[in-house]
Structure 1
Amino acid sequence: MSDHRGNPEEARQRPDRVPDATVEALGALSKALETTERARGRLYDFHQLTGGADFELDRAVRLLREAGHAASADRVEREILGRNVIPGHWTFQIVEAYNATYYEAFKRVEAEIREELADGADHLFEARLKEERRTHGHPDHRATPDEAPGT
């Protein structure tokens, strides 16, 4: 795989051999991966929110007992506290399965295709849009962070 870590802008240089159609296809693939990243974040939200709710049940059980509702406290402990969210799974297991089965494969395939078709260059579609949409010569529209203002 190409190594563009020394200059991030170099990573977005479109190889001469890469046609517009390929840039657009790679952009769609990248957008799909970015959407998957967002979905994965929601999965972590689900994991943490569910875990937080489970820990809050400790407080609910204690308060039910203090209020004289031992049977209700016992029921929450027995039926809900520590319960699987789907058969045989806590949320961390869902996150792990998603990562192993889908997310890691998606990341790998996207990176391999980008390497094969564009020498590993990332965000070519967005870089092309930036170049098309920026106002050349405007200090807040420079192509790169190190470009001199007004060029």
Structure 2
Amino acid sequence: MNHHDGPDRGHQRPEGVSDETIEALGSLSKALETTERARGHLYEFHQLTGGADLELDRAVDLLRKAGHSAWADRVQHEIVGRNVIPGHWTFQIIEEYNGTYYEPFKEVERQAVAELADGRDHLYEAEMKEARRSKGHPDHTARP
């Protein structure tokens, strides 16, 4: 067998690491990936809310031009720049999420991989790739 026909060293299971450990680290990684997606939705929420708030400037201006100054004043006073939850704009929600949940989660996952798998990431996926690829097929190579 060609010595390049398998995963590189960084994606090979260290000696003595059990199937259960590989599966557990894969599950931990999958949970972190889901958290990454949730965090992305927070940024989308942040950008959409910010865009809506900026669009309110146009709405206020158009209400004034249409002769509805009382409504323009109400929108300006009650909605423009309003907190989305008490005391928070969306950027503050993201900061709290990052510091309270996301960063600690990333650190724990990184430390688990470092301690339990010699720092080798994505071993579960690398072994799945190895089991599922068709050896010898040009589009199923183990490495770039």
**TM-score range, shorter-chain basis?**
over 0.9
Alignment CA distance shift 1:60-1:24 (3 Å): same
1:17 aligns with 2:50: no
- Which sections of structure 1, spanning at least 5 residues, go unmatched? 1-7, 146-151
Q: How many residues align?
A: 138
Query: What residue in structure 2 maps to residue 148 of structure 1?
Result: none
Q: In angstroms, what is the RMSD of aligned CA positions?
A: 1.1
**Deviating 4+ runs (over 2 angstroms):** 8-11
Q: CA deviation at 1:19?
A: 1.1
Query: What residue in structure 1 maps to residue 124 of structure 2?
Result: 125
Following superposition of structure 1 onto structure 2, how do residues 100-115 of structure 1 map, counting pairs within 5 Å?
Answer: 100-115=99-114
**C-alpha distance in 1, partners of 2:88/2:48?**
15
Identity among equivalent positions (%) equals 72
- Which sections of structure 2, spanning at least 5 residues, go unmatched? 1-6
Specify which structure has the bigger relative contact order, considering alpha-carbon pairs within 8 angstroms and separated by 6 or more residues. Answer: 2
**C-alpha distance in 1, partners of 2:69/2:9?**
66
Query: What residue in structure 2 maps to residue 3 of structure 1?
Result: none
Following superposition of structure 1 onto structure 2, how do residues 1-150 of structure 1 map, counting pairs within 5 Å?
Answer: 9-145=8-144
Deviations 1:98-117 (A, max 9, x none): 00010000000000011010
**C-alpha distance in 2, partners of 1:59/1:10?**
57
